[in-house]
Structure 1
Amino acid sequence: MENIKLNFLKSIYSDDILYHYTKASTAIDYILYNNQLKFNAALNSSDPVESSKADRAILYSNVDKEISHEKLKEGNELARYLDELHDNFYMICFCKNKKNSSFSINKFNGNEELFGFTKPRMWDQYADKYSGVCIAFSKKKILSKNENLFQLITGNVKYKSFQDIYHLKYDDIQGDYLEQVGLPKYKKQLKKMIQKSFFLKHKDYSGENEFRIVTEYDKSKSEYEFVRGQFKAEGPMMLDVSDCIEAIFMSSYVNNKQKKDLYEYSKNNNIELIEMRWKHNSISLLDYKDDMKTLELFFYEK
């Protein structure tokens, strides 16, 4: 049975909504329990274009030019600086709705692909092979809650060909330019270029329609972890998402214990809980809380 109200679909089909796919156990035990999302290092990305470090060289137009020890030192310092930027790049990834300014939602059937919670590859790859959840957040609420806690860089991912990425991602250090502008200015310029590269992916990923929240790792803002009976300093950095959740989309393959936990959380926090029901030729949406209320009334009357 499909019992989703049109007003809900219209509210969720918004530029403000960001979707995060994850395992049901991760959602229940960490995200919902702690009201936090974890920043993850780009170095841990399975995409080698993102995780691989550049093999940088310091290039000069005149190969016979004698380079002073001081200039070599500056070039090496710049190379280390760029490597550290890459190492300290941490991010949280979301999907967006596929917005069409001239389109107005009047039903779900026939418009499934416009929503960020209906991406089969995301359910497969990030939501435990269709057995997890997709959490809908308010972007405005997240950024407002965290803008004074972190130096956040946010933006949409741009999808490019390999050749475009090759030209857009910074590689070698230009020694002539370093001598011309000096180390501080070159550092500042390169940092902006590196930050832009954090939002590049190959165009084969374009279906993800990704939005990222990025920051540099700062151990003073990291969490302590309790691991095997001991506190571990310099743990992960966490994004506060308390009161930022707009809805939870739960796979019909989630186990009964997890469904109960998600139901209790959504009921206690007045959040929509939608069950994604997979069919041989489509998907349907079920207002799980409303359905549970009907069942509870039925058994109560009996």
Structure 2
Amino acid sequence: MKLQYNINDDYIKFIASADALFHFTRKETALEHILFNKTLRMGEFSGTNDPQEYKPKLTDAVGWGWEEHHDKKVDEATLLIDQLLREKSKFISLCQNDIVDGNLRSHGALKSRMWAQYGDNHKGVCIVVSKSKLINQLKMQLESNYQVGYGDVRYEEPDLNRNIPCLDIDGSELDSLSASEIAISFVNQHVEELFFTKQPDYKDEMEFRYVAIPTSLESTSAPIYIDLLQCVHSIILGDAFPKVYKPTILNLAHELSIPIKKLHWEHHAYILLSWDKS
């Protein structure tokens, strides 16, 4: 599904580009939190709707040179790995355009199922941000306490033989490293497998994901709020966004100095309307 537009329309060119990312949310969340506070919240994987992410992780451990006293540290490390994966690490996922070999195959902002599932049945809001600016903002904001990873989510069938990769560690490492150091090192070694793979059922969401892994469990804070002023591009309202909220959202968009648009479904296609004026 595509929008027809003038080649000189800079707004449409941006939302059709590889730099555009789309965060669908309920109108209450957008109005009362995101736009009012001018922040995007990074969440925990334990709060997602995907059991591959929110369920406890069963980490096996193997190695050589273990002594009886190592067992307690191994147990502690595997528990910390689970905490890192589900609670201590923070993330945000946004939808992106489907672009192959420079050609736009589908608009991220025009996914009706995303509007239905995440955008309050088309009554919600889509926050449009710049991928490059968001990457820079996260690095600047988090690099002192977190390792920031980002990239496309891959959609693959899960490995039925094990839940997550196995912790492979020998006795000398158990003697020299703390349980938290072991856990953080393990997670950083397996970032792609642990954070950037999902089941194929989710492939139409076209996720671009940011993950913040703490460099020390003592320095973590929850939650993390991203400064929206540094990366926001515009606001798009759903087809059924209630008009009663128009003055409020126009005022919030004015405070952010960004354009506001509204999708309208007509004759089997979306039309993008301007809502900057009454």
What TM-score bracket applies, with the shorter chain setting the length? 0.7 to 0.9
Which segment is superposed worse, 15-24 or 187-196? 187-196
Distance 1:238 1:270, change over 3 A: closer
User: Secondary structure at the residue paired with 1:169?
Assistant: coil
Root mean square deviation of aligned Cα: 3.0
Q: Give the letter for the 1:11 counterpart.
A: F
- How does the TM-score come out when normalised to structure 2? 0.81
Give 1:55's match in structure 2, choosing from 45, 53, 58. Answer: 58
Distance 1:191 1:263, change over 3 A: same
Give the whole-Å Cα distance in 2 for the aligned partners of 1:265 and 1:51: 33
- Contact 1:3/1:285 (8 A) holds in 2: no
Residue deviations 1:230-278 (CA, integer Å, cap 9, x gap): xxxxx52211111422121101311123222222333454422211112
Give the whole-Å Cα distance in 2 for the aligned partners of 1:268 and 1:35: 9
* Identical pairs, percent: 24
Give 1:179's match in structure 2, choosing from 168, 171, 193. Answer: 171
Give the whole-Å Cα distance in 2 for the aligned partners of 1:161 and 1:115: 25
Q: Of the two, which has the highest radius of gyration?
A: 1
Residue deviations 1:46-101 (CA, integer Å, cap 9, x gap): 1101111123344579xxxx962223233223212312312312211101111134
Which residue of structure 2 lines up, in the alignment, with residue 133 of structure 1? 125
> How many residues are paired up?
262
Give 1:198's match in structure 2, choosing from 180, 195, 198. Answer: 195
- Contact 2:41/2:226 (8 A) holds in 1: yes
Report the alpha carbon displacement of residue 35 of structure 1 after superposing the two structures with TM: 1.0
Q: Pairwise mapping of residues 229-268 of structure 1 onto structure 2 (< 5 A)?
A: 236-268=223-255
Give 1:117's match in structure 2, choosing from 109, 122, 128. Answer: 109
Give 2:275's match in structure 1, choosing from 275, 278, 288. Answer: 288
Report the alpha carbon displacement of residue 180 of structure 1 after superposing the two structures with TM: 6.9
Where structure 1 has 5 or more consecutive residues not aligned to the other structure, the ranges are: 104-110, 223-234, 293-302
Which residue of structure 1 lines up, in the alignment, with residue 258 of structure 2? 271
Where structure 2 has 5 or more consecutive residues not aligned to the other structure, the ranges are: none
Distance 1:85 1:257, change over 3 A: same
Q: Pairwise mapping of residues 49-128 of structure 1 onto structure 2 (< 5 A)?
A: 49-59=52-62, 68-86=67-85, 87-103=87-103, 114-128=106-120
- Contact 2:26/2:119 (8 A) holds in 1: yes
Distance 1:77 1:272, change over 3 A: same
Give the whole-Å Cα distance in 2 for the aligned partners of 1:81 and 1:102: 42
- Contact 2:84/2:213 (8 A) holds in 1: yes
- Contact 2:156/2:198 (8 A) holds in 1: yes
Which residue of structure 2 lines up, in the alignment, with residue 297 of structure 1? none
Q: Give the letter for the 1:56 counterpart.
A: T
Q: Does 1:12 align with 2:11?
A: no
- Contact 1:3/1:286 (8 A) holds in 2: no
Distance 1:257 1:4, change over 3 A: farther
Q: Pairwise mapping of residues 149-160 of structure 1 onto structure 2 (< 5 A)?
A: 149-150=141-142, 151=146, 152-160=148-156
- How does the TM-score come out when normalised to structure 1? 0.75
